[in-house]
A = this chain, B = another copy of it.
Amino acid sequence: MTTSQARAGSGEATGTRGRRPGIKDVAGAAGVSVTTVSHVLNGKGRVDAATRARVAEAAERLGYRPNSNARGLRSGRTDTIAMLLPAGADAHDHHVLAVDYYLSLTMKTVEAAFERDQALLQLPPLRRLDDLRRFGIDGGIVLDPVPGDGRVAMFHRLGLPVVTVGRDITRPDDPWWVAADSAASTRTVLEHFAAGGARRVAMLSVDIEWSWFADAERTYVEWAAERGCEPILVLARPDRRDSSAASAAAALLDLRPDAVYVPPQWLATGLLRLARDRGVRVPDDLLVAVGVDSHLARTSEPALTAVDLDPARTAREAVDLLMHRIEGGPPGDPRVIPVTLHPRGSSLRPK
């Protein structure tokens, strides 16, 4: 062990660029052995406090950076995990990603990874297996998998641990996912509408097979059946053009609902505008709630009742689950994240 560490250190100092001070330089400056420096920097072995301080001071003064590559070669680990935003054909479609949930989730995942001493690589849309093979990572977090998700399949083919945020609805046996509780939040929204006096409760959603949307749709249909109502459900086409959003909103309003839950936030803007154009007042004539909270929901006029998906907790749980899988832990229960409804002006009628 000591020998290989010393060798890695000297390899560093004599690298082709030759600018970085190596572990030998630190050892020389602190007047200790390379082994002692290694022990201090890795928190191993018994080294007295004064020597620790001297080594730390020398490393700081020389600007020494432990070579994480050398570390990776020893442990077989890169201490780097990857994150993949929902993308692919829709990579350049801003509608879905416009909501600040994704940036918030990204930043929280970076922080959660850092707290576990992991660097977070953001990966581009993966077009083929080689795209993934190029990265030195221990595993990855895939956001919003579709059925038989190609990104997840690439991780499996390379034997790389992977977890998802949202689950593949066609793989009920896969426990390696974290997801906000779509079914519970749908029921909460629907009951909130019912308590507000709504009798014709509808759903406006999108034909994308993410578990968030699929669970909301299923729960809504079940809820309507329990109450002996016909479901009033309109799905926008998944290509998400402004035109499909507008025609879906028009089809929905034609059905004259008095409340509508809109799981994808980007469909709500067009609905509100069309309602205004038609003289349908929100919330007086129509209660509205959206499935993800955002700056836009908070500052909309009226402010939109929205589900808070807790991106901070989702990020922490996703990193924790991935680390568990990387470390070879056994499969456990999926992590379902509780959500909170923020009732706002769009669903609260003045008494």
Contact = CB atoms under 8 A, between A and B. Distances in A.
A98 B102 CA distance: 10
A343 interface: no
A151 to B, nearest CB: 14
A334 interface: no
Contacts of A183: none
A223 B75 CA distance: 61
Interface size on A, as a range, is: 35 or more
Interface string A53-64: 000000010011
Interface stretch (A11-19, A26-34, A205-213, A230-238): A11-19
A311 to B, nearest CB: 11
B129 A60 contact: yes
Contact of A133 (B66, B70, B77): B66
A191 to B, nearest CB: 28
Given A121-B119, A273-B301, A78 B85 contact: no
A299 interface: yes
Interface in A30-88: 60, 63-70, 72-78, 80, 83, 85, 87
Interface in A272-312: 273, 276, 294-296, 299, 301
A301 B300 CA distance: 10
Given A11-B73, A158-B63, A294-B98, A124 B103 contact: no
A122 interface: yes
Given A73-B11, A73-B67, A158-B63, A107 B119 contact: no
A8 interface: yes
A324 to B, nearest CB: 16
A19 B295 CA distance: 45
Contacts of A106: 103, 106, 122
A94 B105 CA distance: 12
B135 A63 contact: no
Contacts of A91: 107
A322 interface: no
Nearest to A299: B269
Contacts of A129: 60
A119 to B, nearest CB: 5
Interface stretch (A110-118, A163-171, A173-181, A247-255): A110-118
A268 to B, nearest CB: 10
Nearest to A103: B103
Contact of A136 (B15, B17, B67, B117): B67
Given A122-B120, A296-B295, A15 B100 contact: no
A97 interface: yes
22 contacts: A11-B73, A16-B76, A17-B76, A19-B159, A20-B76, A20-B159, A63-B157, A67-B72, A68-B69, A69-B69, A69-B78, A85-B107, A98-B100, A100-B100, A107-B122, A107-B124, A110-B124, A111-B125, A120-B122, A121-B121, A121-B122, A266-B295
